Amino acid sequence: MNVLRQNTDYAMRLVGHMAAHYSDGAIPVRVMAEEEDVSYQFACKIMQKLHDAGLARSEMGSKGGYSLVRGPGEITLLDVVRAMQGGVTVNRCTCGEEKDMCPRKEICPVNDKLCELQGMVDSYLASVTIQDLLNGKAKK
């Protein structure tokens, strides 16, 4: 089982591409898709999700395309993950939604450690910015 879905992986590539060309303005989806090895149709769907999540803006016209709404240092991996798949959940008992919680949560000896792990995953993803990826370094 993959923690990050394929569309999330591709979204990270596309966001990274926009970040690398942040000062260049809007980039056509076809260009990003080709350079990041993502099918054009899939890239269009991903860009729409990133737009809906407020991470990317679209520009129409002959010089149109997408660009980041915020600087690469202001967008985290957690932002991208949440935009694409709603977050990473270690186990259903760490989801936080009553309907999804395990009925044994209160007596389970594993729950506290799983919640601790969930906190570490969320914290790490929130600590790594797209700029960190461009710099080739992730915060530890």
- Encode burial over 21-56: b for 16+ CB neighbours within 10 A, e otherwise: bbeeebbebeebbeeeebeeeebeebbebbeeeebb
pLDDT attached to residue 92? 72
- Residue 46 predicted with pLDDT over 60: yes
pLDDT attached to residue 26? 95
Grouping H, G, I as helix, E, B as strand and the rest as coil, residue 109 is coil
pLDDT attached to residue 121? 93
Q: Which residues contact 91 (CB under 8 A, 6 or more apart)?
A: 102, 114, 118
pLDDT attached to residue 4? 87
Residue 76: both structure tokens together = 């985290």
For the segment 72-119, what is each residue's pLDDT rounded down to a tens digit? 999 999 999 999 998 888 877 766 655 556 777 778 888 888 889 999
For residues 138, 57, 17 and 12, what is the CA-based torsion angle, rounded to 10 degrees? 50
**How far, rounded to the nearest angstrom, does the alpha carbon of residue 33 sit from its chain's CA centroid?**
17
| End-to-end CA gap in the chain | 25
- Is the pTM for the entire model greater than 0.75? yes
Q: Which residues contact 5 (CB under 8 A, 6 or more apart)?
A: 84, 85
pLDDT attached to residue 51? 97
Please write down the long-range contacts of 32-41, taking CB distance under 8 Å and 24 or more positions apart: 32/65, 32/66, 36/10, 37/13, 38/10, 38/13, 38/14
pLDDT attached to residue 48? 97
Q: Which residues contact 26 (CB under 8 A, 6 or more apart)?
A: 58, 59, 63, 64, 65, 66, 67
pLDDT attached to residue 9? 95
- Residue 138 predicted with pLDDT over 60: no
**Average pLDDT score, the chain:** 89
**Structural domains present in the chain:** 6-134 (1.10.10.10)
